[in-house]
Structure 1
Amino acid sequence: MNKYDSNKPIQEITSINNPKIKLWSQLLTKRGREAQGKFILEGIHLVREALQADLKLEVILFSLEKGYPDELSLAGDLFIEIIGVSDAVLAKCSDTQTPQGVLAVALKPEWSKERLLEQENGLVIVIDGVQDPGNLGTIIRSADAVGATGVVLGKGTVDLYNPKTIRSTMGSLFHLPILEFDLLDLLPLARDKNIEIVGTSLQADQSCYELDMTQTIWFILGNEGSGVSASIQPYISQQVIIPMRGKAESLNVAMAGTVLLFEAGRQRGLHK
């Protein structure tokens, strides 16, 4: 890692009208994030996770009143700008009612589709229109927990860099490739690679526990209300059902994804 110049004085910004603050506050909107290719991380836990994962951070802002957190001392070893700011500035760049005293501006990581398509024994979750930030965050955390090789977010899916989504991932979004891609362009390529593309259906004859998940496999999870879109259905090579003994009609999409991922993990030796 490159060393940070410890002799460089830490800057201070106290005015919400500062041009930098105006620019960073735009990252609270999807349009601003897309225009700048950046996003905001808030809280010591997320910023520390980002540092440990070597995510590219442009700047760390901390509350002058609370002081710089000792837990983020790692940033002192990197070429990251550190700026002390007023609480009014933190509030301007935060989407929470009570800012946590530290936030960072990060560059969106870039991943290639080839990394997923060429992965041997790949385990990928494909998201088709999941709308709830908490659901998407849970799916990403489960994918991270079992060692999945990637997550693909199709059109209509909630923005990964929405602050609520970021918080719900608890840092797992830094631990595996997450791509945003048009599924109608990507899934034909996966099919050409003979990748098993698996969906869930209450009408399926095969249990998820009967499916061989040791091969390269992509699971598709659809919208909370309408499921997988009609245009995506033709690319599904197998449908499975998650057996349920109780009277519940179905599982929440995040729970269904978690069941599938952990069964894949079990078959791949996660239980050992």
Structure 2
Amino acid sequence: MTLLESSITSVHNPRVKSWAQLLDKKGRDKQGQFIIEGVHLVQEALASGAAVETLIVASDRQQELPTGLLEQALAAGIECVAVSEQVLAKCTDTLAPQAVLAVLPKLRYEPRDLLAAAAPGLVVVIDGIQDPGNLGTIIRSADAVGATGVLLGRGTVDLYNPKTVRSTMGSLFHLPIVQGDLRDALPQAASAGAAIVTTSLQAKMSCYEYDFREPVWFVVGNEGQGVSEEVSLLATEEIIIPMQGRAESLNAAMAATVVLFEAMRQRGVS
């Protein structure tokens, strides 16, 4: 027996058009909302207390949802709407949509939330990452090591890009993710006692030699160009990831993960 009997079946329905606009950054910015897809992301959002506004459920596939998911959402006062497969497909960019989507407001964190965090902070700073999969992976790694939060600088791919959201695997609900101007935020962090650390092929100190036990804001640069010149000038320390093989460099997300797990090791793995 299904909980949701009535269904939106027309892709021309005004609400469907509004949801579909969230696939584009312009629509997300205008509405201040974004979409997540799939059981795992919806469960993570609900478990974290995220302000889920609407669940969009495939009418004929409600039985695919985990037992109690709809009841939990309805009990929390979340609007639950059944839709046809055509409507569901209109609201996602995947070829084989899962049975549930959710609409949420954008996260409301500010750079000051990272500055106010208890020391010793470990903030991951993103300077111009363009690939949504890379950004999502870095956020997931930041979550995995218990980072204080993530700061997204100008020129970085949109956090709410559906591919970015999927790549986080729910980690975007687990720690503060802030968008801000690095030219303002990094000097403020340095004034508060944090080291601003970047990687550089010219650096003399290995990431395994650097002391990550103190407050650190670690900057991850663009995939092709690395950390921008204006942000490099704000750095207080440069480190290098030593490599013994013949590879010239690592993928940006992989390099960030190597450094973050070294920071976690030094800080003590509980």
Identity across matched positions, percent: 57
Q: Which amino acid aligns with 2:56?
A: L
- Map Cα deviations across residues 55-88 of structure 1 (whole Å, 9 max, x no partner): 1111001111112513524213211000111011
CA distance in 2, matches of 1:21, 1:107: 17
**Equivalent of 2:93, from 92, 95, 111?**
95
- What's the CA shift for 1:98? 1.6
Equivalence for 1:115: 113
Which segments of 5 or more consecutive residues in structure 1 lack a partner in the other structure? 1-7
Contact residue 197 and residue 218 of structure 1 kept, 8 A: yes
Which of 111-120 and 136-145 deviates more? 111-120
Match in the other structure for 1:5 = none
Q: Map 1:1-272; keep pairs closer than 5 Å.
A: 11-67=6-62, 69-71=65-67, 72-73=69-70, 74-119=72-117, 120-270=119-269, 272=270
Distance in structure 2 (CA, Å) of the matches to 1:181 and 1:190: 13
CA distance in 2, matches of 1:36, 1:228: 32
Query: What is the alpha-carbon distance in structure 1 between the residues aligned to residue 166 and residue 189 of structure 2?
Result: 31
Aligned length: 264
Tell me how large the CA RMSD over aligned residues is. Answer: 1.4
Post-superposition CA distance 1:116-155 (Å, at most 9, x none): 1122110011000001111111111110001001001111
Once the two structures are superposed, residues 161-219 of structure 1 have per-residue CA deviations (whole angstroms, 9 ceiling, x without a partner) of 00011111111111000011111121121122121000011111111111111111010
Shift of 1:10: 5.8
TM-score, length-scaled by structure 1:
0.93
In structure 2, the residue matched to 1:3 is none
Query: What secondary structure sits across from 1:139 in the alignment?
Result: helix
8 Å Cα contact 1:10/1:82 also seen in 2: no
Check the 8 A contact 2:4/2:59 in 1, yes or no: no
CA contact (8 A) 2:23 2:161 kept: yes
* Structure 2, unaligned runs of 5 or more: none
